[in-house]
Each structure stands twice: as C-alpha cells, then as structure tokens.
Amino acid sequence: MLRLGTREFAPDEPVIMAIVNRTPDSFYDRGATFLDEPALERVGRAVDEGAAIIDIGGVKAGPGEEVDAAEEIRRTVGFVAEVRRRHPSVVISVDTWRHEVGTAVCEAGADLLNDAWGGVDPRLAEVAGRYGVGLVCTHAGGARPRTRPHRVEYPDVMADVLRVTTALAERAVELGVPRESVLIDPGHDFGKNTRHSLEATRRLPEMTATGWPVLVSLSNKDFVGETLDVPLKERLLGTLATTAVSAWLGAQVYRVHEVAETAQVLRMVAAIAGRAQPAVARRGLA
C-alpha cells in the first residue's frame, strides 16, 4: 500500500501526478502557470481530470537563469499553502533538491518531496524523515542539478538505476521516512541519453521487482522527441505510448502534463490487464 498524505493507493492502482511549474521559463509551457491564478486554475482542472498528486516546481530542470533557495521558496511555499487550503485531500508534492526548500514547503503542508536529482543534497531526505512525508528517490547518474548529460556511459544502466535508487530508498527509511511513502524513479533523461531512457523503460520490471512503488516522469521528454524526431509540441502520442508500456510493465505513479489523456490510457491498460471493468459494456448484450 502506497500512503501519501491522507491518501492510500493499492499496489495495482495507477496514480497520476500533475505537473504545475511555478517558473517563468518552463521547457513545456514557457511560464503559463508562473502567476498564481493560472496555476491555481491548472490545479483545479488537473484534480477534476483525475490527478491525485499535484507536483509543484519552482526551478526548471534544465539550464537557465540562476534561482537561489530564497527565490525557490518564494515561488512555492505560499502556493503550497493555498493549494492545501483549496484542495484538502489532494497529495501535494514539491519538486526540489534543496533541504531548505523542503523544510519550508513541509511547514506549508506538502506531503511528498520529489527529489529529481538523486540525493545531491543528502539533507533533503533528513527533512522528509523529520516531517514524516514521502520521498521520491531518483536516479540522475550523478549529474549536478540543472545540467544536461554529455557522453554519459554505463556498463549496465538498469543495474546502476537499481543500485542508486534502492540505496536512497533504504537510507530514507532509516532517516524516518515511512517505508510505504517512498517511491523510486528511473529518472528518464536525467544523466541519460535517449538509448538509456528507452532501456530503462523496457526494463521497468526489474524496478518493480524490488517492491518499491515506481514513479515514471515521461511527459514530453527529450527521449520521446529524439526517438520520433518530433518537436516539443508533437510529443504527446509518444508520451502516451510510453505511458501505456510503463503501465503494462508495472509502474504506479505517472508525472504528466496532460492529465485527461493519461487517465484514459491508464484506464484502458487496466481494463486489458483485467484490473478494471469497462465503464460501459453494451456491445453484444442488447
């Protein structure tokens, strides 16, 4: 059972995490949710469309203008508090690698810290343990925050993913994070080239076999764009195809931009797998 905030999710229950960027230079929406009202509208729409988790980020993942901890806190803390006020039951996640930010957002009501940079600040896990919130343990290949991979190599990329993420997960539990609130993430595109991300996807069963719930962050990423040779705004179909494969292979949490489309894909996969019933079944019965 995965427990995040006040919510519990069965092992075979797919969970959607909706991305809400509080940045003026997001790679995907170019700052569309930087201001409070558009961001709050995005949260409400995502919840209505089926998102159980809202993932709030104050710094874009890629290179760009320097954002210090104080500015990241300014962009996220008040917003976390307002989302908590408006949506008491939603799971609030904050995408950060800094322990100072983690402390501030936990005080404001966050339920989950999404450490996309693989424990580069080891004190972030300590914060999660102190507040008893969840933690996402990600493989980033040792990359520094906001850097792009350059000629990175692995003897076995999935072996490295398993070694890093399970060690981070066990350390988190030792520090007081509830075991049922820890997730592992292969870190698509983070410290990886496109072939690494594709291999990590097809080998997801090796991650699910560890017993830790697996989160995948696939949405509109470069590995999708390079695989299909399409620009950013044409990556939805590739993203949804990768989502379907990941669902079939056992991933549980999906960090996405397009919530409604993802929800349909996950329902379809669950029905094919026999874990869910059709919403309507009239054909051949009349």
For residue 221, indicate whether it is catalytic.
yes
Residue 40: is it exposed, middle or buried by C-beta count within 10 angstroms (0-12/13-18/19+)? middle
Q: CA-CA distances (angstroms) from residue 5 to 133, 168, 182, 241?
A: 7, 21, 12, 30
Beta-bridged to residue 4, according to DSSP, are 7
CB 35 within 8 A of CB 111: no
Look up the pTM and report it. Answer: 0.96
Rounded Cα gap, residues 83 and 44, in angstroms: 9
Can you say how many angstroms the Cα of residue 83 is from the centroid of all Cα atoms in its chain?
18
The pLDDT tens digits of the residues spanning 219-261 come to: 999 999 999 999 999 999 999 999 999 999 999 999 999 999 9
For residue 192, indicate whether it is catalytic.
no
Walk along the chain (286 residues) in steps of 10 and give the mean pLDDT of each run.
97 97 82 89 98 97 94 97 97 98 98 97 98 98 94 97 98 98 98 98 98 98 98 97 98 98 98 96 89
Q: CA-CA distances (angstroms) from residue 100 to 140, 171, 266?
A: 21, 19, 35
- Residue of 163, 221, 275, 282 marked active site: 221
Q: CA-CA distances (angstroms) from residue 190 to 3, 222, 268?
A: 26, 10, 29
What pLDDT shows up at residue 34? 86
The pLDDT tens digits of the residues spanning 93-108 come to: 999 999 999 999 999 9
Rounded Cα gap, residues 22 and 230, in angstroms: 26
Rounded Cα gap, residues 77 and 189, in angstroms: 27
- Residue of 3, 255, 267, 282 marked active site: 255
Q: Is the dihedral of CA 124, 129, 132, 135 positive or negative?
A: positive
